Amino acid sequence: MVDAARNQTVADVMNPDPVTATPSETVRGVAERLEAAGVGAVVVVDEIRRPIGIMTERDLLRFAASGADGEVAKVGEWMTEDPGLIGVDVAAAKAFDKLAAAKYRHIPAVDSDGALQGIVSLRRLTQLAQLQPVTSPGHLEAPKGLEGVIVADTTVGDVRGQEGFYHYRQYSATDLARSRSIEDIWHLMFRGHLPTAPESAAFTDEYRALRVIPDSVAAVLPSIATASTPFVPLDALRTAVSLFGQVQGFRPWLDTDAETLRHEAMQICSVIPSLSMALYRLSRGEQPVTPHAELGYAANYLYMQNGQVPAANEAYGVEKYLISTIDHGFNASTFTGRVITSTGADIGAAVTGAIGALSGPLHGGAPSRALDMLDEIGTPERADAWVRNAVANGDRIMGFGHRVYKTDDPRSLLLREVAREMGGPRLELAVEVEHTVIDVLAELKPGRQLYTNVEFYAGVVMEECGLPPELFTPTFAASRAIGWCANILEQASDNRIIRPSANYVGPPPPQPVPPTEG
Catalytic center residues: 402, 455
**What residues have CB less than 8 Å from 430, skipping those under 6 apart?**
374, 419, 456, 457, 460
Specify the pairing of strand 80-81 against strand 116-121.
Answer: unpaired
CA distance 41 to 56: 4
Residues 487 and 156: beta-carbon distance below 8 Å: yes
Task: Indicate the DSSP class of residue 426.
Answer: T
Cβ-based neighbour number of residue 223 at 10 Å? 10
Neighbours of 443 (CB within 10 A): 10
DSSP notation for 136-188 = -TTPPPPPGGGTT------SSEEEETTTTEEEETTEEHHHHHHHS-HHHHHHH
> Would you call 148 exposed, middle or buried from its count of C-beta atoms within 10 A (0-12, 13-18, 19+)?
middle
Strand bridging mode 51-56 / 157-160:
unpaired
Rounded CA gap, 184 and 24, in Å? 44
Q: Are 437 and 400 in contact (CB under 8 A)?
A: yes
**Which residue from 29, 24, 20, 28 is spatially nearest to 51, judged by alpha carbons?**
20
Q: Residue length, the chain?
A: 518
How many Å apart are CA 5 and CA 138, to the nearest integer?
10
State whether residue 418 is helix, strand or coil: helix
Q: How far apart are CA 367 and CA 458, in angstroms?
A: 6
Sign of CA dihedral 286, 480, 472, 393: positive
259 CB neighbour count, 10 Å cutoff: 8
Which residues lie below 8 Å from residue 188, measured CB to CB, with a gap of 6+?
Answer: 168, 169, 171, 176, 194, 195
Determine which helix (DSSP H) or strand (DSSP E) holds 280, and give its type and residue range.
helix 258-283
